[in-house]
Amino acid sequence: MIPQLRTSAPDFANSFAVLRRQLNDEDVSAVVANIIERVRADGDKALLELTVQYDRAPLESAKKLVVPAETLSQAHESLAPELQAALRAAAERIEEYHRRQLPQSWQYTDFNGNTCGERITPVARAAVYAPGGRAAYPSSVLMGVIPAKIAGVREITLLTPVADGAVPPITLAAAKIAGADKVFTLGGAQAVAAAALGTDTVPRADVIVGPGNAYVAEAKRQLCGIVGIDSLAGPSEVLIVCDDTANPEWVAADMLAQAEHDERAQCITVSPDAALLNQVAAALVRQLETAPRAAIARHSLVSRGALITAANIGECCQLANDIAAEHVQVMCADAPAVAANIHNAGGLFIGAYSCVPLGDYGAGPNHVLPTAQTARFASPLGVHHFIKRTGIFQATAAGARIPAADAVTLARAEGLFAHAEAAALRTKA
Amino acid sequence: MIPQLRTSAPDFANSFAVLRRQLNDEDVSAVVANIIERVRADGDKALLELTVQYDRAPLESAKKLVVPAETLSQAHESLAPELQAALRAAAERIEEYHRRQLPQSWQYTDFNGNTCGERITPVARAAVYAPGGRAAYPSSVLMGVIPAKIAGVREITLLTPVADGAVPPITLAAAKIAGADKVFTLGGAQAVAAAALGTDTVPRADVIVGPGNAYVAEAKRQLCGIVGIDSLAGPSEVLIVCDDTANPEWVAADMLAQAEHDERAQCITVSPDAALLNQVAAALVRQLETAPRAAIARHSLVSRGALITAANIGECCQLANDIAAEHVQVMCADAPAVAANIHNAGGLFIGAYSCVPLGDYGAGPNHVLPTAQTARFASPLGVHHFIKRTGIFQATAAGARIPAADAVTLARAEGLFAHAEAAALRTKA
């Protein structure tokens, strides 16, 4: 069922290249460009039309896109106690983690006596997108809003589409717990456009974060530069590195947990132990028999999954660094030592007890992670997406002399004479 | 000559909106998309053709795009001693500043006994673009390469186009001083495409940074997501906030230093002191008479500049936060106190001796700064552009129980049953 590869096979390079080939998203760029232009031109009017067109029954006015504060409180109060407790516990762990990410401003006096530094300030307004439509994602609400809160963002709005005519109460409860300032029942490219450009109802955000479908990602891509964004989310991925100490039932369960997300999710397990991988293959078949989302998971595993037999654990790590997966699980005898050699990963889950679903639901680290090999350069959603740095330079009259003289020399060499003049004024104290 | 506005004027809101209106770059997106496709399809062959088409005389092979290491050394040795010394001093100050930006990995044990953390690693390969064509920008080479070096990037390539048939020796000397591993005489969108996609000659980079013209910025925009990028550079900007303690000759000199960059540069001075602003206007006229780049500067000041009289310093700071300029200079009696109220700025230059050209030529902070109001959310080029973070989660058997149980509860509520199954396995230790 799931493809099995060997790194020692003569055609491995080819098979591996096919496996790593990124999906081409259906071309949504023209549709999204049109949506953005409509929102830019007509603001709330366009938002109402687009929301009716894509998402829901007609609304009498754009004001109805705002979820009243009472509705949030009611959703929170009406939530089953065990769900409320689980959300609160997750929120606490996420907060505990992310407050360690807040960078501090710094400054120093340099050898010329001038003060240099970096000042950290939060963005004024952030919009967090949480997907909806077919399911509720309260955990994504926590993952977006809590870091913004820690950064000190003045106004945090949540954008989330209706599912079956309403936003699920658990999503609203998560917004309440995380401390979102305003919730809009808005989804898709039009939600991103509204937050990036501002309308009468939706305030213009400085930063828009959070995962969404291909339309949401494309809207973020097209508006990047007008608004700050986090990374562009693609289909979810897990890479499991394991040796003969791993339990094949657990490996299979962890692959299924990723594969049930999406037919385009990518689940790969690499191991030096071919026998173990055969057991994983068998366990996958068995577990799929009773999995409620078996159709989606099977499609993902057959079309984009793989079990790869490698020469040794070192080669497994090399493959992991090439693949640069969103999630990397390490289930090996000395898991921390193996994990130390994996540099390209959105999130590292080290040891048999550290499976991805624990991270998904708030073990601590963020679950909004770079996909599609972007872990080569991109980072998980975090407090750093909601702050900005300002370079600080404060010279004294005496301290300015040396850098000013250097600036005169270099400006003349670059042919920028007014630069040289302005700098020369500072050499004369 | 330069427009003068008053915040108390009835039409100020309008005039201010016109002033803040962002320039629409000529639409280069189709041209750039075509260049990217050519490089994707034909690699080095396309690079050679495009380089001849846009930049220079024909080359016999793509290998000739690489500047030999001896040429770098020769350029460095042949440089006038005062230029070499000025570049070295600037490089030292830039290094002194940026090594404070290197974030540290961290981890902690949470209340359940699980280890959470964040691991910082450098990207493997970075490409630094330095503009050329009409002038030499050795300072931009230092600003791009030094932070990459501090981050620990394994391979740093410099991309810079020829000017009059060759890369200026001072640019090559800067590459040598900063420690670039390889220099390619490549410019424009084709340079960005080559580094993002890789060709036989140009290695694929994980991150591409540095300022460039509209084609370079558009190529970065179109390739963002395939490669990491810094912010998209637009025309340069300075905003000067000053009170009656400022020297109008200095203010004018600082405006001219910005205006000489580009006809589209934006130079604005705001002050509560109308008399001072009149003196600045007069000084500008006078200084322009002898400025070598007067035509460019005059065009910039007339078409995009302004002297704005505000009610008080508080209002000046509000305007500064609205404008969110690339460079903000504060020349006031208590400059640090005023600067403390300015949150949206790429770089803050505090006090009369801290003019932008000192920063341009390496007083310490980076000179590649967010433009076009993106200082609302974006940061100067820095070490953080060359590192990535990986979330770390390492549970113990006992520690996994609580987050696993929460995950089971939440996964069932979200309808992700295989997530619940995988988590449930971790509740049974």
pLDDT at A134 over 80: no
Distance CA A368, CA B102 (A): 23
Over residues A167-209, the pLDDT tens digits come to: 899 999 999 999 999 999 999 999 999 999 999 999 999 999 9
Cross-chain CB nearest to A224 (options B221, B292, B375): B221
The C-alpha of B368 sits at a distance from chain A's nearest C-alpha, in angstroms, of: 10
Bridge partner list, A308:
A5, A270
Q: What is the structure's pLDDT at B45?
A: 94
Cross-chain CB nearest to A357 (options B378, B413, B422): B422
**Identity of the residue numbered A404:** A
Q: Which domains does chain B have, with CATH numbers?
A: 4-23+235-363 (3.40.50.1980), 29-81+116-229 (3.40.50.1980), 395-425 (no CATH)
- Enumerate the active-site residues of A: 326-327
Q: What is the structure's pLDDT at A25?
A: 64
Bridge partner list, B158:
B128, B183
ipTM > 0.85 (yes/no): yes
Name every chain A residue with its beta carbon within 8 A of the beta carbon of B363. Answer: 114, 116, 393, 395, 403, 407
Mean pLDDT score of chain A: 95
Name every chain A residue with its beta carbon within 8 A of the beta carbon of B336. Answer: 394
- Whether A395 sits inside 8 A of B257 (CB atoms) is no
pLDDT at A328 over 70: yes
pLDDT at A163 over 80: no
Question: B353, B384, B402: which to substitute to probe chain A, counting the most A Cβ within 10 Å?
Answer: B353
CA B173, B386, A376 angle in degrees (round to 5)?
125
CA distances for B53 relative to A24, A152, B46, B200, angstroms = 31, 50, 10, 20
Q: Among residues B371, B159, B145, which one has the least CA distance to residue B258?
A: B371
Please report the sign of the dihedral spanned by the C-alpha atoms of residue B61, residue B67, residue B69, residue B74. positive
Is B327 marked active-site?
Answer: yes
Over residues A342-372, the pLDDT tens digits come to: 999 999 999 999 999 999 999 999 999 999 9
Q: What is the structure's pLDDT at A43?
A: 96
The C-alpha of B10 sits at a distance from chain A's nearest C-alpha, in angstroms, of: 23
CA distances for B374 relative to A18, A109, B21, B326, B327, angstroms = 39, 28, 13, 8, 12
Other CB atoms within a 10 A radius of the CB of residue A290 amount to 9
pLDDT tier for residue A23 given thresholds of 50, 70 and 90: confident
Instruction: Note whether B413 and A81 are within 8 A (CB).
Output: no
pLDDT at A1 over 90: no
Helix axes A248-259, A274-290, angle to 10 degrees: 50
Binding residues of B, as ranges, are 129, 190, 213, 236, 258, 261, 327, 360, 414, 419
Q: What is the structure's pLDDT at B26?
A: 66
Q: Divide the 429 residues of chain B into consecutive groups of 10 and give the mean pLDDT of each group.
A: 94 92 78 96 94 78 90 95 97 98 97 97 98 83 98 97 86 97 95 97 97 92 92 91 98 97 95 98 97 95 97 98 97 98 98 97 97 96 98 98 97 93 93
pLDDT at A22 over 80: no
Give all strands of the β-sheet with A125-129 in edge-to-edge order: A182-184, A155-159, A125-129, A207-209, A228-229
Name every chain B residue with its beta carbon within 8 A of the beta carbon of A429. Answer: 353
Tokens of B313: 């310093």
Name every chain A residue with its beta carbon within 8 A of the beta carbon of B110. Answer: 93, 96-97, 364
**DSSP assignments along B209-266, one per residue:** E----HHHHHHHHHHBTTBEE-----S-EEEEEE-TTS-HHHHHHHHHHHHTT-TT-E
Cross-chain CB nearest to A353 (options B89, B225, B426): B426
Instruction: Note whether A406 and B89 are within 8 A (CB).
Output: yes
Q: What is the structure's pLDDT at B58?
A: 75
Cross-chain CB nearest to A118 (options B89, B101, B416): B101
Distance CA A375, CA B124 (A): 11
Q: Which residue has the tokens 């433009």?
A: B371
**How crowded is the C-beta side of A204, counted as CA atoms within 13 Å?**
15
Tokens of B174: 């800067």
The C-alpha of A60 sits at a distance from chain B's nearest C-alpha, in angstroms, of: 30
Inter-chain CB pairs, A–B, below 8 Å: 400
Burial, B77: exposed, middle or buried (Cβ in 10 Å; 0-12, 13-18, 19+)?
exposed
